[in-house]
Amino acid sequence: MTTVLGRFVLWLLFVALGFYNPTTGALSADHFRVVGLFEPEEKAQKLSFTNAIEKLNLNVVGSSHMVVYYVEEVLPNDSFEANKGDEEETRKTLDYKVCRQMKEGIAAVFGPISKIPRAHVQSICQAFDIPHLSAQWDPRETRDYYSINVYPDNDVLGRASAELVRYWNWKHFTVIYEDDDSLLRLQEVLKATKGSDHRISIRKLDPFQGSYISMFKDLKEKGEYHIVVDCSAAKVQPLLHEALKVNMLSEYYHFHFTTLDLGGVDLEDYKYSGANVTAMRLIDPTRTQVVDVMTEWRFNDDNALTSPLLGGNYLQTEVALMYDAVHLFFKSLSELTVAVKDIKTQSLSCNKRDAWDIGNSLLNYMKSMDFEGLSGRVRFSPDGRRTDIKLDIVQLSQSGLKAVGDWHPTTGVNISTSYQEKSKEDINKLKNMTLRVVTVYEEPYLMMKQNPDGTVTHEGFMIDLLNLIKGRLPFNYTVYQVADKNYGRDQGNGEWDGMVGDLMKRDSKERADLAAAGMTITYEREKVLDFTKPFLNLGITIVYKKPTKAPPELFSFLSPLSIDVWIYMLAAYLCVSFMLFVIARFSPYEWTNPHPCNEDSDYVENQFTILNSLWFTIGSLMQQGSDIAPRSASGRILASSWYLFTLIMVSTYTANLAAFLTIEEFVSPFNNVEELAEQNKVTYGIVPSGSTRGFFQNSDVPTYKRMWAFMETNPDVGLVSNSKEGINRVKTSDYAFITESSTIDYQVQRNCELTQVGGLLDSKGYGLAFPKDSPWTDLISREIIYFQETQQIQKLYDKWWKEKSGGKCDVDEGKKDASSLGVKHVGGVFVVLVGGLVAGLLLACLEFMWKAKKNAKVDKQSFCSEMSEELRFAVRCCGKPEKTTRRVGSKDIVDNGIQFAPLTGMTHRNNSKELYA
Ligand code: GLU
């Protein structure tokens, strides 16, 4: 009704302004004719075209130029296709219609939409220099010069989708396409992934097949979770409907549609499905221009909601673009009319090679135009393509389609949803969900509990942890044990057993949403699953029986000193004895008169024979003393250092002996993993499908390789079904079980006969595991960090490891250690002894020379001959340590109360008085 009224007003305006002669129907010279070519079914485009012209004409009231439109109906694509029989006729009809309009003089041609007639019209416009405007997707590389398209360039749209795929880091995805045009649109997406681990599978929507269920079933079986779909907006709903039927709209799936009109699809049934449904849009419905136009169009129509323009209250991209195309024409024309006076259209005949003079100028104005349209900033590259566009990235949420970011050719993908918004969205999705939790029953992580009323529930560290998380995130869970009771291992063909396998099945009946157990975060598992941050830290280690007491040894008295020290002591004893002997031979003060009453005796004796020297040193070493003692200063220096040595050694020995006698020695057949690998007495093993197996199997360390070879070749011994069996074997046989420290810690606190042997072989953590790309991983991971920081996980650990009948064996039976003292402990005493030896020796030499000098005077000999004589005697070691003096008038010297005899007398003389004279 309003439209009819509007048209009447426009007619009146034309008449009033003199553009239109109502009797002849002819237009005056100040108007511009444009032609719109539309297929009968493209009602919305046609209305957009006419409404836009009417509106913009009203806006230019007062100016001397008006635009008048003519709409010609054209037949769609298939009428032009070869082998239809009448395609030639159709073409002629189209030519006729365009030529008829050109004869009247036209400033531009809009449409048609279908590819074949459009190309035909474009070539006519090209021939007569008439600008051709379109608002449809056009993949052609080279375009007619006189053609301008407000639809975004195909390459740019392709790039946008490809960059999104890269942004999401999709390595495996499926492309579903509708027709050959789709492949042109998807070119960039197909090039988006490069690399050996990237894989794209391509599926075509079969137009003859009503249902897509078998395709979706197949995709599901193949584990395709990321899907790019290129189809018309009309096909989106049937596709999603079929996907929903095969449960492919769960939170693990991501459907990205390349259509720019996802906003026009009714997605009500899918917004709670959990699947990630995304697309891009050019027309932002919240934009002021769009809101204004939509309000206007609603008023123009009798029934707004069924308006073909709004396609169910949604402004379709091509409809909005047609509006922008008209806007572009108006803007360019009004600028051109300001710049060039008296421009007018020209009657052109299709039969003549004529052209519109102004056409080129008008086209150049269009190409240089830059304005805000319904589709954002409208501007063109020099070849008339629309490459500078901004696309909104939209995502289906529980409140409908929501813009989560945008894409621009220069800035690329920009996701603007804040962290809080994303969390809120994820929490909303999680609400009221019942997660299936897979586990392996193992103490103290997760166990079955028989209630007094006969019901069976679950308990354990993991249940408490899940309940803590549940307290902060609203969800429910059910727990089941994985059928094969395994943790999970790659079977070699990409298939996994155990909990990992169930998590990977994510959509089947046996699917699991998360694994809660003592499940180790490993590199291999991380490739196929998502893990939360670790909640426990641990490492591989060995559990074995506590060591037994060693039987007493016969020669345990030797233990306080190491064998080296005993050898050094023996060497020191021999060395000191010999040095004492030597010093005594050289020192004149060790030669004494054996008959003190016979002072005149020339006969002198030395008490330090070899045997006596040995006796003296052993006597002092044994703290018993002896009946001989050195007289010379040099001998006494040596003796003193020996006394010091024996004092320290004996005290050290005694002290350490006490420790050895009081401490009972415990013996274990091995003290670390290397010793375990070396010996054959104790067998050892691991659980067969856990991360510990992976550790040994993939190790390059020779010890671990050897151990894995043993376990692999003796699976009866080397692989136990679970940790319970492993611990039982340790208790009942000579067996060492290798598993993770957290489990061992739990067991040794309850089984006092068990102990952990050696340190940790590696370091890793337990985490909650989720299927890859699960939306819950980040949410729950954050909660785990929170519980770590608030020490709630530590409290749970204490509860399940220490409090619940743990800590029984906490009394440290004190492995007080007593070890033999080595050379490094007593080395200093040896140094002192050597010092004493050297000092004694030097002093003995001095004494020797001093005496030789004195005797040389008395004997009237040269010092050298006296020295050599004395030396000869001293080194005659086999002889008896006795001698006679030979000098007359020589006299024994009394020094420090010790009587000295002159050295090396050749003759025995009784008159000693003479000697002293
Ligand atoms: N926690 C290990 C896993 O996640 C199982 C125990 C083990 O391998 O020692 O595979």
**637 Cα to the center of ligand 1, angstroms:** 69
Evaluate if residue 308 carries a pLDDT over 70.
Answer: no
Evaluate if residue 858 carries a pLDDT over 90.
Answer: no
pTM: 0.69
Task: Give me the pLDDT at residue 888, please.
Answer: 38
Kindly state the helix (H) or strand (E) to which residue 47 belongs, with its residue range.
helix 43-59
**175 Cα to the center of ligand 1, angstroms:** 38
Domains and CATH numbers, the chain: 3-151+316-378 (3.40.50.2300), 154-281+389-415 (3.40.50.2300), 430-537+768-799 (3.40.190.10), 559-662+822-899 (no CATH), 668-762 (3.40.190.10)
Dump the DSSP string for 79-107: HHSTTSS-HHHHHHHHHHHHHHHHHH--S
pLDDT over 70 percentage in the chain: 87
Task: Give me the pLDDT at residue 510, please.
Answer: 67
**691 Cα to the center of ligand 1, angstroms:** 5
Report the nearest-CA residue for atom 9 of ligand 1.
Answer: 739
Task: Give me the pLDDT at residue 67, please.
Answer: 92
**518 Cα to the center of ligand 1, angstroms:** 7
Ligand 1 atom with the smallest distance to the CA of 693 is 8
CB 96 within 8 A of CB 317: no
More confident residue, 479 or 826: 479
Structure tokens at 94: 């189209």
Please write the tens of the pLDDT for every residue from 680-730.
999 999 999 999 999 999 999 999 999 999 999 999 999 999 999 999 999
Which of 523, 525, 687 has most ligand 1 atoms within 8 Å of its beta carbon, as the pocket-test mutant? Answer: 687
**749 Cα to the center of ligand 1, angstroms:** 20
Overall average pLDDT of the 164-191 stretch? 92
Which of 740, 745, 746, 747 has most ligand 1 atoms within 8 Å of its beta carbon, as the pocket-test mutant? Answer: 740
More confident residue, 80 or 787: 787
Report the nearest-CA residue for atom 10 of ligand 1.
Answer: 690
Which of 520, 538, 689, 743 has most ligand 1 atoms within 8 Å of its beta carbon, as the pocket-test mutant? Answer: 520
Evaluate if residue 303 carries a pLDDT over 60.
Answer: no
Task: Give me the pLDDT at residue 88, please.
Answer: 74
Evaluate if residue 830 carries a pLDDT over 80.
Answer: yes
Cβ-based burial of 605 (10 A; exposed 0-12, middle 13-18, buried ≥19) = middle
**718 Cα to the center of ligand 1, angstroms:** 15
Ligand 1 atom with the smallest distance to the CA of 520 is 4
Overall average pLDDT of the 460-476 stretch? 95
d(CA 674, CA 683): 13
d(CA 71, CA 274): 47
Which of the four pLDDT bands, split at 50, 70 and 90, describes residue 296?
Answer: confident
Pocket of ligand 1 (CB under 6 A): 487, 518-520, 686-687, 690-692, 739-740
Task: Give me the pLDDT at residue 81, please.
Answer: 61
Evaluate if residue 892 carries a pLDDT over 90.
Answer: no
Task: Give me the pLDDT at residue 354, please.
Answer: 83
Which of 442, 482, 496, 691 has most ligand 1 atoms within 8 Å of its beta carbon, as the pocket-test mutant? Answer: 691
**867 Cα to the center of ligand 1, angstroms:** 86
**681 Cα to the center of ligand 1, angstroms:** 26
Ligand 1 atom with the smallest distance to the CA of 686 is 9
Task: Give me the pLDDT at residue 703, please.
Answer: 96
Please write the tens of the pLDDT for every residue from 100-125.
999 999 999 998 988 888 988 999 99
More confident residue, 607 or 707: 707
Cβ-based burial of 464 (10 A; exposed 0-12, middle 13-18, buried ≥19) = middle
Overall average pLDDT of the 71-98 stretch? 76
Evaluate if residue 430 carries a pLDDT over 50.
Answer: yes
Measure CA of the first residue to CA of the last residue in the chain; give whole Å: 164
Report the nearest-CA residue for atom 8 of ligand 1.
Answer: 690
Q: Mean pLDDT score of the chain, rounded to an integer?
A: 86
pLDDT over 90 percentage in the chain: 57
Ligand 1 atom with the smallest distance to the CA of 739 is 9
Evaluate if residue 640 carries a pLDDT over 50.
Answer: yes
Task: Give me the pLDDT at residue 19, please.
Answer: 47
d(CA 204, CA 46): 32
**693 Cα to the center of ligand 1, angstroms:** 8
Evaluate if residue 890 carries a pLDDT over 70.
Answer: no
**50 Cα to the center of ligand 1, angstroms:** 72
Overall average pLDDT of the 533-545 stretch? 96
Evaluate if residue 351 carries a pLDDT over 90.
Answer: no
Overall average pLDDT of the 510-533 stretch? 94
**519 Cα to the center of ligand 1, angstroms:** 6
Task: Give me the pLDDT at residue 200, please.
Answer: 92
Which of the four pLDDT bands, split at 50, 70 and 90, describes residue 810?
Answer: low
Tokens 């979770």 identify what position? 225
Report the nearest-CA residue for atom 5 of ligand 1.
Answer: 690
β-strands 894-895, 591-592 pairing: unpaired
More confident residue, 117 or 858: 117
Q: Please give the single-letter amino acid code of residue 885.
A: T
